[in-house]
Amino acid sequence: MTLDSTRDPPTVDDLDRALVSRLREDGRATNRGLARSLDVTERTVATRLRRLSDAGLVRVVAVTDMEAFGLTALAFVLIRVAGRRADAVAEDLVGLDEAIGLATVTGSEDLVAIVLCPSHARLADVLAEGIAVIDGVTSLHCELAAKVLRFDSQYGRITPQPRSGSSLLRAARSPHDDLDIEIVLALQADSRASNRSIAASLDVSEATVRARVSRLVDNGTLRIQAVCDIESFGITAFGFLGVRAEPGQVEPVGRSLLRFDELGLVARSIGRYDFIAILATTSRERALRTVQREIAGLEAVATVDFHEGSTAVKHEFTWANFGTG
């Protein structure tokens, strides 16, 4: 269940962690400001940030609220495969723009895809025409996220991958105008780009870009923050949980699940489960103990299915749900 058993994670020290902590709060903080707050030189900050980025340990990203931009249909798709290797099928799925997350898993399912769409109608099309038709896919089951209770975007598996932001944003029925969308896309491509460079690329004034970015951040639509590679920061095991509550106990179970820090995403789901969640923790032993003893042992929980993660194939950092909790 390790994310990459062949990888030897580089060392992260206290200064690295302090830099990351500041960038989680403000991903567009200048090197000068970071140096002043940490009592080190600008050169030290620049060198550390370059090393963290080049090693794939940290990426500063523009995280966009999916619902604020009209992307309201979020689903977890459990996929079974036959006649082909699961990783080969996953390679065919990677290019699907609506698949913002994808992992191979062990157990009764072979893959789990996290799919984001502007409507339930589009979601149905993606399932029928984008996933079910892939060679090797024998069945799929959709868990629709009816309400997201937690969506932690501070950690992820940092690997080179295509971005789906452009097609998703332009396809959504968003209340934001074209300029907002183009600014967000520019920040998703390079979240530390200056207002001046974005303004030049869009042929508008720097003041316009500054005002638009400030408005998007202030109204909770956009966050510019550091995302850390989970394995390099001590998270080496992950998986997907499907939780059923005892009759009449859905709300108590939801509150109980939110007490587990290991659950980075928790959603009320429509399907075979009452809740779907993503667990990430420091070891396989800890993951199994959390699932089998602590979560399954909750008084109001009827059953827990755990799909252990094998390989995190795709993880888009640019989407989250800020209206949670």
> pLDDT by residue for the chain (325 residues), tens digit each?
444 444 455 678 899 989 988 988 888 888 999 999 999 999 999 999 888 888 878 888 888 898 888 899 999 999 999 999 999 999 999 989 999 999 999 989 999 999 999 999 999 999 999 999 999 999 999 999 999 999 877 666 665 544 555 677 777 777 888 899 899 888 887 888 889 999 999 999 999 999 999 999 998 889 888 887 766 677 789 999 999 999 999 999 999 999 999 999 999 999 999 999 999 998 999 999 999 999 999 999 999 999 999 998 888 777 888 865 4
Query: What is the residue type of 314?
Result: K
CA pair distance 55, 158, nearest whole angstrom: 10
Pick the CATH number of 177-220 from 1.10.10.10, 3.40.50.300, 1.10.3720.10, 3.40.50.970: 1.10.10.10
3-class DSSP assignment, residue 52? helix
**pLDDT on residue 155:** 63
Q: What is the third-level CATH fold of 69-158+231-320?
A: Alpha-Beta Plaits (3.30.70)
Distance CA 100, CA 115 (A): 6
pLDDT for 161 equals: 47
From the list 57, 62, 51, the residue with the least C-alpha distance to 27 is 62
Task: Compute the distance between CA of residue 15 and CA of residue 177 in angstroms, rounded to an integer.
Answer: 40
Cross-strand pairs, 228: 58, 155
d(CA 152, CA 225) in angstroms, rounded, equals: 12
Q: For residue 37, give the amino acid letter.
A: S
Identify the DSSP state of 323: S
> For domain 14-55, which architecture applies?
Orthogonal Bundle (1.10)
Distances (CA, A) of 205 to 57, 187, 191, 213: 34, 16, 18, 13
Q: What is the pTM of this model?
A: 0.84
**Topology match between the domains 69-158+231-320 and 177-220:** no
Instruction: State phi, psi for 222 to the nearest 5 degrees.
Output: -140, 135
Segments making up each domain of the chain, as ranges: 14-55, 69-158+231-320, 177-220
Which alpha helices (H) appear in 219-311, and where do they start and end? 250-257, 284-289
Tokens linked to 114:
């996290």
